[in-house]
Amino acid sequence: MKQKLQLAESLVRQARMDGAAHAEVLIVTSDRRSFSSTSRALSHETESAVHIRLTAASGATVSSVNTGDPATVGAKALSKTFTQLRKAKAQDNAGPPPHLDVQDRGLGILDRRQANLTDSDRHEAIDWNEEALAAFRATVVPGPFLYEEVLHSRVLAATNGAHLSEESSRYRLSGRPATRSTPTSS
């Protein structure tokens, strides 16, 4: 998280050195893990995007969204956005641009246990639910379960002094049990 904030701050500094009157950089990363009860193999993928907004002294404003590893795409994305800014038309009566849409309150909560979860702990969530359904095996057919976990991080740096960072975690366990058409005897 610290490295991403440093990268965002570095890109903002570079934008100012290159001549932007105002710059904002928002880096968003989602780290997803999932697996199902039918396939115990853990799927792990990371998605990242670098959002850049630049404003010239003339009031012209451009923005871009660039997907990929922030450390790899950051400088190239800034250069590309500057090319767009040089071509953008001046805007009369333009004031300071509104900041990028950054959620600054809500239920973005980081579970303190998240960093310590093991794959065994993740599998246990499905196992426990399958065992709980077994008590109703006369009337319920256990269906496949899907476990999903997302660690979401966002960092923002801007020339107006805003430097924000947030991490949150989200868990989801879904299943598709069905009822038996005729109960079985135990």
Q: Where are the chain's structural domains? A: 2-107+150-169
Tens of pLDDT, residue by residue over 110-151, are: 888 888 989 899 889 888 988 888 788 778 877 788 999 999
Provide the sign of the torsion angle of the four alpha carbons 140, 143, 146, 147, taken in this order: positive
**Residue 96 confidence (pLDDT) above 60:** no
Query: Contact 12/77 with Cβ under 8 angstroms?
Result: no
- On the CB side of 104, CA atoms within 13 Å amount to 7
- Mean pLDDT value of segment 164-178: 88
pLDDT tens digits, one per residue of 69-86: 999 999 999 999 999 998
Q: Quick one: what percent of the chain has pLDDT higher than 70?
A: 88
Residue 99 has pLDDT above 60, yes or no: no
Q: What is the dihedral of CA 108, 114, 120, 121, to 10 degrees?
A: -70
CB 28 within 8 A of CB 49: yes
Residues 11-48 pLDDT 10s: 999 999 999 999 999 999 999 999 888 888 889 999 99
- Rounded to whole angstroms, how far apart are CA atoms 60 and 8? 21
Superfamily of domain 2-107+150-169: PmbA/TldD superfamily (3.30.2290.10)
Which of 102, 107, 109 has the alpha carbon at shortest distance from 157? 102
180 or 185: which leads in pLDDT: 180
